[in-house]
Amino acid sequence: MKNVKSPILTLGLFAASVGCSLVYADAQDDPLLTSVMIDQLETGLNSGDATNVSAQAWLGYDLNKLWLKVDSEYTSSDEQELEVQALYSHAVAPYWNLQMGVRQDIKPTPTRHWAVLGVQGLAPYWFDIDAALFLGEEGRSAVRLSVEQEWLVTQKLILTPEIEMNAYSQNDAKTNIGSGLSDISAGLRLRYEITRKFAPYIGLDWSRKLGNTADLVRSDGESISETQFVVGVKAWF
């Protein structure tokens, strides 16, 4: 490892050590808690559609936690995406957490490494916000914004619209990412909570590559836009 990769991993280890020390310091005041949340485990209805997994897990106390975030998309052995984040999270206000750590884009290759500084929380009118700044190797940087909201149709039937945007500072032709606003995705999912911890759903998912990213994707002969109907499950424990 050289250049930026070493500082990024150093930052991750520092964040983890700080998080652990703060967590143990708080152990006398509140109990150690854990949570695993499978936000999306879904597949498209048509042959050849991707299977997606989006999950989060945390371990810690009221103010300080260690987080793990995983996002994966699998279409075939040649079309895979896998991103993992390991973060230290500190509560800075009711419903809001400041997060720092590392992100690794394992697929597609070549692997990319990033330092992460983000904020996650619940905004007025019950908007779930997840925003992050990523600093990578060779001067790369990126930003991501995810927003979703839950609408109660009944006490068990819940409609969730969501949107996500990514932007990058540099072209990265090896991973088909262009500078500027790179992509946008939007979804609408209707779930039925059999219990509060388990809910199957159906939905519609749309995504589109933009700007320089769209040009790179077109040059590879791939589509820049995709719409699919999905079925899946949301769960936590």
The CATH number that applies at residue 77 is 2.40.160.40
Cα angle 64, 70, 74; round to 5: 175
Here the tokens at position 10 are: 């150093």
Structural domain containing residue 118: 5-236
Centre a 10 Å sphere on the Cβ of residue 21 and count the other Cβ atoms it contains: 11
Instruction: Report whether 87 contacts 101 (CB < 8 A).
Output: yes
Residue 174's SS3 state is helix
pTM assigned to the model: 0.85
Identify the pLDDT of residue 17: 53
Give the number of domains in the chain.
1
| pLDDT tens sequence across 172-202 | 999 999 999 999 999 999 999 999 999 999 9
CA distance 146 to 177: 19
In the chain, which stretches have pLDDT less than 70?
A: 1-29
| pLDDT tens sequence across 114-146 | 999 999 999 999 999 999 999 999 999 999 999
User: Amino acid identity of 219?
Assistant: S
Identify the pLDDT of residue 230: 97
